[in-house]
A and B are shown apart, each in its own frame.
Chain A
Amino acid sequence: DAGITQSPRHKVTETGTPVTLRCHQTENHRYMYWYRQDPGHGLRLIHYSYGVKDTDKGEVSDGYSVSRSKTEDFLLTLESATSSQTSVYFCAISELDTIYFGEGSWLTVV
């Protein structure tokens, strides 16, 4: 257990609405990540953070923004959700050069 909590775990939203997913960790890890998982694509990195207010883009960052105002929280925002953003979103942390995942957030955009 990497001490990661994702919320919400399941959400259905309408196209064009903003959505924020929250990742909370309790063990003061410096590095945090957001991935999305889709059939046939595996896990793709959206954004990651290497400290408070320090973030960088991953391979599929278009349409997503992130914020990290506290060490323990890493927020992923879909500014205007689209159906192509229907996916399972996993938050992760890096500890001792190994990545560990949260339970996932299932997002459906209708």
Chain B
Amino acid sequence: AQSVSQHNHHVILSEAASLELGCNYSYGGTVNLFWYVQYPGQHLQLLLKYFSGDPLVKGIKGFEAEFIKSKFSFNLRKPSVQWSDTAEYFCAVREKGTYKYIFGTGTRLKVLA
């Protein structure tokens, strides 16, 4: 079965530090890839997505992600985090040709002011 792995469960950073959150998926076919953010007490909101083309995608709030097909990875990055980035981040995959979206277990990011 298709799966999504997020290896960092908890990350603590100081403001202005750089962020990279890992995401790996197991499916070998064509996929669409997503990152979502969930602020405390809220629902998931789309940060960015990759369907095809340039493997480096830019999203909202200064986030970007890079798709590396050979590594089955879609890591999320931000050059300089802010206190307001404190949230939980989820990676998700959709197999092309299906409408099932599979999510990772999430990474809780805490940014210290």
Known: A50-B99, A97-B51. A40 touches B44 (CB 8 A): no
How far is B40's CA from A104's CA once the two chains are assembled, in angstroms? 12
Q: Among residues 1 to 28 in chain B, which have CB atoms less than 8 Å away from a CB atom of chain A? A: 1, 6, 9
Among residues of B, the one whose C-beta sits closest to the C-beta of A50 is B99
Task: Please tell me if the beta carbons of A42 and B43 are within 8 angstroms of each other in the complex.
Answer: no
- Residue B71 at the chain A interface, CB threshold 8 Å: no
- Residue A84 at the chain B interface, CB threshold 8 Å: no
The residue that A45 contacts in the complex, of B51, B101, B104, B105, with Cβ under 8 A, is B101
The SS class assigned to the A binding surface is strand
Q: Which chain A residues lie closer than 8 Å to B103 at the CB level?
A: 35, 42-44
- Residue A34 at the chain B interface, CB threshold 8 Å: no
- Residue B87 at the chain A interface, CB threshold 8 Å: no
How far is B35's CA from A99's CA once the two chains are assembled, in angstroms? 11
- Residue B58 at the chain A interface, CB threshold 8 Å: no
Chain A interface size, as a band, is: 20 to 34
Q: Which chain B residues lie closer than 8 Å to A92 at the CB level?
A: 101
How far is B105's CA from A99's CA once the two chains are assembled, in angstroms? 17
- Residue B49 at the chain A interface, CB threshold 8 Å: yes
Task: Please tell me if the beta carbons of A48 and B100 are within 8 angstroms of each other in the complex.
Answer: yes
Q: Which chain B residues lie closer than 8 Å to A101 at the CB level?
A: 43-45
Among residues of A, the one whose C-beta sits closest to the C-beta of B96 is A97
> Least Cβ distance of A10 to chain B in Å?
12
> A interface vs B, CB < 8 Å?
31, 33, 35, 40-45, 48, 50, 58-59, 90, 92, 94, 97-104
Given contacts A42-B106, A48-B100, A100-B46, 16 further A-B contacts (CB under 8 A): A33-B101, A40-B105, A41-B105, A42-B90, A42-B103, A44-B103, A45-B100, A45-B102, A50-B99, A94-B99, A94-B101, A97-B32, A97-B94, A98-B32, A99-B34, A101-B43
The contact sample of 25 A-B pairs, CB cut-off 8 A, is: A33-B101, A40-B105, A41-B105, A42-B90, A42-B105, A43-B44, A43-B90, A45-B100, A48-B99, A48-B100, A58-B100, A59-B1, A90-B44, A94-B99, A94-B101, A97-B51, A98-B32, A98-B34, A98-B46, A99-B34, A100-B46, A101-B43, A102-B43, A103-B42, A103-B43
